[in-house]
Each structure stands twice: as structure tokens, then as C-alpha cells.
């Protein structure tokens, strides 16, 4: 007969409680995306309905804000990923003056509170006479996303085996051919991971966006303004779609990796 062990049960119980704590807000968002609309708020459960999913743009400005966030996230991610990848390669592969200083300064946006960054950028745009809008939001997001891209890609560059690239050069490949056919494919997992992180940070950002967006509205700003009277069910629908899409993406990637590992193990 097995004896009950408090020590063995502690970790699973605490883990389950932590998981429930993390998933409760997500469950609330998904549940209230099916809430029947009665009045202007979406705080109290009124009944089940599919009307919100049939018309996710039913709430004023919700789809405009969502589209703006997608656009800002994609543009800032592309720019930050390209620039961050080049900076990461330069920091790892080349020796130049102030290299250590640049590496240190790249961590500054990650360590500085967002309210300080947002306020500082807002003042700079004001002094430069730049009108705030989606353009200034993209510039602000590129600024703090580059740091995360550099850190992620830099670790990948440092882990590459230089002998593989040297083998390409020994086979008379040009520097451009070595980069596009050898270096870049090996860096791609780190670049993709950095790009996904950059997009998630950009799409989710509120504080820096709020300081530098002017009259433009993004999805986080829309949620913040709507929170006092209950986030519209249509916003919950869009948020649920994002969550389910991200979850499916992770499942697909993990399934592909497991399949590859099994094929390699069977050889």
C-alpha cells in the first residue's frame, strides 16, 4: 500500500494552482466573447450567443484598432529584425572600437521602465515637431524591439560552428553565397524566434504607445479605454482568435519538431 507523501504532492498541487491562476483571465476573455449584449457594458453574464463571433467588428473602432496593432507589429518587427540581426552579427563576428560599449547600451531599453522611455520619446517628438500617429508608434516600437532581437540572434550567432562556413569558402563560394546559403539558414531559427518575440512585444505594448500615438488607436489602447465599462464582446472575440492562433502555431511547431526528431532517431 502506497503512503501519501506531502512532499511529492506539493509540487503538482502548486503547479496546478499556478496554471489555473494564469489561465483564469484567458478563460474569462473567451467566455465573455459569447456574452449576449444588453446595454453598454460587458461585465455581467447575460446569456450565451454566437452573434459576437458572427460579427467581430460590431463594436465601434474595434477592428480599426486591431488592424492598426497588426500593421504596427508587422512593420516594426520587420525593421527591428533586419537591423537587430545585422547588429548581432557585427557584435559577434567583428572587432571594432566601442564594441563593448554598444553591447552594454543595447540593454538600456530592456532595463529602463517603459514609462520613462515613452515620456522621453514623446518629448523628443514634440521638440522635433513630429506629429504623433502610427508612424511615431512604429519608430518607438522599433527602438525597444531591436534590443530583444539583438540578444536572441546574438546567442544564435555565437553558437554557430565557423568550420561549416570555412568549408563553404574552401569550395570556392563567395562571401555572399556563404552568407545566404550557409550562415543565414543556420541563423534562421534564432531570427524567427526573435521576430515572434518582437511582434508579441509590439502588439501587446500600451505604455510607450499611449505616450506616442496621438489620436491613433491601437488594440491595447482600445482595451484600456473600454475596461471601465467592460471590454466589448467583439474585442474578446479578436483576443480569443489571437490566443487560439498562437496556441495552434505552437502546437504545429512542436509537432513538426517531434516528427523530425523521430525521423532522425529512426535512421
**Backbone phi, psi, residue 49, to 5°:** -155, 150
Three-class SS of residue 262? helix
Q: Rounded CA gap, 141 and 203, in Å?
A: 9
Q: What's the total number of domains in the chain?
A: 1
Q: Among candidates 110, 130, 114, 127, which has minimal Cα distance to 213?
A: 130
* 95 lies in some domain: yes
Return the C-alpha torsion angle 223, 226, 232, 237, nearest 10: 0
Predicted confidence at residue 2, as pLDDT, reads 58
* 22 lies in some domain: no
Predicted confidence at residue 148, as pLDDT, reads 92
Predicted confidence at residue 132, as pLDDT, reads 92
* 155 lies in some domain: yes
pLDDT tens for 39-71 read 667 777 888 888 889 888 888 888 999 999 999
Run of H or E including 147:
helix 134-158
* 15 lies in some domain: no
* 83 lies in some domain: yes
* 122 lies in some domain: yes
Q: Is the model more confident about 39 or about 179?
A: 179
Kindly tell me if the per-residue pLDDT of 168 is higher than 60: yes
* 178 lies in some domain: yes
Q: How confident is the model over 223-229, as a mean pLDDT?
A: 79
With pLDDT > 90 as the criterion, what percentage of the chain qualifies?
34
Rg (CA), the chain: 23
Which residues pair with residue 48 across a beta bridge? 35
Predicted confidence at residue 121, as pLDDT, reads 92
Kindly tell me if the per-residue pLDDT of 1 is higher than 60: no
Q: What is the CATH number of the domain that holds 155?
A: 1.10.3720.10
Kindly tell me if the per-residue pLDDT of 7 is higher than 80: no
Q: How confident is the model over 7-34, as a mean pLDDT?
A: 86
**Residue 92 domain boundaries:** 64-236
Amino acid at each position: 500500500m502506497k503512503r501519501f507523501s506531502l512532499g511529492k504532492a506539493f509540487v503538482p498541487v502548486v503547479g496546478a494552482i499556478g496554471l489555473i491562476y494564469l489561465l483564469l483571465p484567458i478563460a474569462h476573455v473567451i467566455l465573455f466573447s459569447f456574452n449576449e449584449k444588453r446595454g453598454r457594458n460587458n461585465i455581467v453574464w447575460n446569456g450565451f450567443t454566437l452573434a459576437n463571433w458572427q460579427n467581430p467588428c460590431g463594436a465601434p473602432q474595434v477592428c480599426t484598432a486591431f488592424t492598426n496593432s497588426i500593421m504596427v507589429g508587422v512593420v516594426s518587427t520587420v525593421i527591428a529584425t533586419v537591423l537587430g540581426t545585422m547588429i548581432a552579427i557585427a557584435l559577434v563576428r567583428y572587432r571594432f572600437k566601442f564594441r563593448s560599449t554598444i553591447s552594454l547600451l543595447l540593454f538600456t531599453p530592456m532595463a529602463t521602465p517603459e514609462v520613462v522611455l515613452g515620456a522621453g520619446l514623446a518629448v523628443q517628438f514634440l521638440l522635433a515637431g513630429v506629429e504623433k500617429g502610427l508612424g511615431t508608434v512604429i519608430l518607438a516600437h522599433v527602438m525597444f524591439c531591436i534590443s530583444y532581437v539583438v540578444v536572441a540572434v546574438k546567442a544564435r550567432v555565437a553558437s554557430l560552428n565557423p568550420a561549416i562556413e570555412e568549408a563553404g569558402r574552401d569550395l570556392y563560394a563567395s562571401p555572399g553565397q556563404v552568407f545566404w546559403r550557409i550562415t543565414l539558414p543556420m541563423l534562421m531559427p534564432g531570427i524567427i524566434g526573435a521576430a515572434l518575440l518582437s511582434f508579441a512585444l509590439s502588439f501587446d505594448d500600451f505604455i510607450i504607445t499611449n505616450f506616442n500615438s496621438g489620436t491613433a488607436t491601437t488594440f491595447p489602447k482600445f482595451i484600456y479605454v473600454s475596461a471601465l465599462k467592460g471590454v466589448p464582446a467583439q474585442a474578446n472575440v479578436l483576443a480569443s482568435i489571437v490566443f487560439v492562433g498562437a496556441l495552434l502555431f505552437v502546437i504545429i511547431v512542436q509537432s513538426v519538431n517531434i516528427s523530425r526528431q523521430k525521423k532522425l532517431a529512426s535512421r
